[in-house]
């Protein structure tokens, strides 16, 4: 499998397992199935509410002796209610405890938005902290401190527009090594890819299959299906592959990491087997035409009068 190489030589396997919306009882099994079938990259986050179950899977697999902790790339993310500088390391330590790990390979600031420490999910403007109350540079400096303390090997961000990245780069001497964002044929984000490549920031593609299992309240009416797209399905048929495999391979071939979520044994295996599919130039040309700047995860739930954003993504390919 392709890997993404970091400055210090560490290599992140391009394809990982996503775990958002995976229930506690199913995620433990899913992670074990993934690791026992060749996955070496798992994407987690405190807010997914299942890190303790994933930790049980890690403990069983790593104590089983066949797969060592060092062979697996494990990412997690700082939730928006722990941006204040005194809250970053305690939140990370809780994640390490839940995951039953001594260190993470990658820790990300999940969103460029801060909530008050006792707020899990904001309902009112007053649930947010302003940029003055929780400057992103202070959160970022604590991420760097976590790296210095050996709690994480690499640090980065998620859902950062090129404008927000630019602002952060102006203030720090140590750039994020990763930006995890939504990327798929309907949201190709070529400008962001170019910006990140210029600044040596890797990208991870989230919701690569169209995030079909989001709760209804998070879905737009009549949102388009990626897995049922006729162009994707024609290319899949041509290669004797599934639509999911084409979408995953497309991300991998663009040089990004990609983290499809599944709790189904067959689909977990199928998604990793996309490494065996090869897309040609004509496939890429066809898929390029599908870009419609469509976001499944709009971040609209974080836009209130209490922060200064009209949209979280600062018009980086934004279409409401």
Sole binder of ligand NDP in the list 161, 180, 251, 307 (CB under 6 A): 180
On whether the CB atoms of residues 129 and 84 are closer than 8 A, the answer is yes
Q: Which is nearer to ligand NDP, 159 or 229 (CB)?
A: 159
Orientation angle between helical segments 85-99 and 136-148, nearest 10 degrees:
50
Residue 271 as a binder of ligand NDP (CB under 6 A): the answer is: yes
Q: Which is nearer to ligand NDP, 195 or 206 (CB)?
A: 206
Residue 213 as a binder of ligand NDP (CB under 6 A): the answer is: yes
Q: Is 318 labeled as catalytic in the residue annotation?
A: no
d(CA 181, CA 158): 6
Residue 158 as a binder of ligand NDP (CB under 6 A): the answer is: yes
Q: Least distance in Å: CB of 65 to ligand NDP?
A: 27
Listed ranges 134-142, 260-268, 284-292, 300-308: which one lies at the site for ligand NDP (CB under 6 A): 260-268
Listed ranges 115-123, 161-169, 185-193, 263-271: which one lies at the site for ligand NDP (CB under 6 A): 263-271
On whether the CB atoms of residues 48 and 77 are closer than 8 A, the answer is no
Residue 256 as a binder of ligand NDP (CB under 6 A): the answer is: no
Give the list of residues 6+ apart from residue 82 with CB closer than 8 angstroms, or none.
46, 88, 90, 91, 117
Residue 57 as a binder of ligand NDP (CB under 6 A): the answer is: no
SS3 at position 180: strand
Sole binder of ligand NDP in the list 34, 210, 287, 312 (CB under 6 A): 210
Sole binder of ligand NDP in the list 76, 162, 229, 263 (CB under 6 A): 263
Q: Enumerate the H helices of the chain as residue ranges.
A: 24-36, 51-64, 85-99, 136-148, 162-171, 190-198, 230-239, 243-253, 265-272, 281-288
* Number of C-beta neighbours around residue 26 at 10 A: 16
Dihedral sign of CA atoms 122, 119, 180, 274 in order: negative
Closest CA to 263 of 64, 47, 19: 19
Residue 270 as a binder of ligand NDP (CB under 6 A): the answer is: yes
Dihedrals phi, psi of 48, to nearest 5 degrees: -75, -10
Residue 76 as a binder of ligand NDP (CB under 6 A): the answer is: no
Looking only at residues 37 through 56 of this chain, which bind ligand NDP when binding is defined by CB under 6 A?
A: 43
Q: Least distance in Å: CB of 305 to ligand NDP?
A: 23
Catalytic residue among 39, 48, 128, 186: 48
The residues annotated with a catalytic role in the active site are 48
Residues that bind ligand NDP (CB under 6 A): 18-21, 43, 110, 158-159, 180, 206-213, 227, 242, 244, 259-264, 267, 270-271, 297
């Amino acid at each position: 499998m392709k890997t993404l190489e970091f400055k210090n030589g560490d290599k992140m396997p391009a394809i990982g397992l996503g775990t958002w919306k995976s229930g506690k009882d199913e995620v433990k099994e899913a992670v074990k199935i993934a690791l026992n079938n060749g996955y070496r990259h798992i994407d987690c986050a405190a807010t997914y509410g299942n890190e303790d179950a994933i930790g049980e899977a890690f403990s069983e697999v790593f104590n089983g002796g066949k797969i060592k902790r060092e062979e697996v790339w494990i990412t997690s993310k700082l939730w928006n209610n722990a941006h204040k500088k005194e809250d970053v390391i305690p939140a990370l330590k809780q994640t390490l405890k839940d995951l039953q790990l001594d260190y993470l390979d990658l820790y990300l600031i999940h969103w460029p938005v801060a909530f008050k420490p006792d707020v899990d999910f904001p309902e009112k403007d007053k649930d947010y902290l302003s940029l003055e109350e929780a400057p992103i540079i202070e959160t970022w400096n604590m991420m760097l401190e976590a790296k210095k303390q050996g709690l994480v090997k690499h640090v980065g961000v998620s859902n950062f527009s090129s404008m927000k990245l630019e602002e952060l780069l102006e203030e720090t001497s140590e750039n994020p090594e990763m930006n995890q964002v939504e990327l798929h044929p309907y949201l190709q984000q070529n400008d962001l890819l170019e910006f990140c490549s210029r600044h040596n920031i890797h990208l991870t593609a989230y919701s690569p299959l169209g995030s079909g299992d989001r709760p209804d309240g998070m879905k737009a009416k009549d949102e388009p299906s990626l897995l049922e797209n006729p162009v994707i399905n024609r290319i899949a048929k041509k290669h004797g592959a599934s639509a999911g495999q084409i979408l995953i391979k497309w991300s991998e071939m663009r040089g990004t990491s990609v983290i499809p979520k599944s709790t189904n044994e067959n689909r977990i295996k199928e998604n990793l087997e996309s490494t065996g599919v090869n897309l040609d130039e004509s496939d890429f040309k066809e898929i390029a035409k599908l870009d419609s700047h469509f976001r499944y995860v709009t971040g609209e739930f974080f836009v209130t009068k209490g922060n200064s954003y009209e949209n979280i993504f600062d018009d980086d390919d934004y279409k409401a």
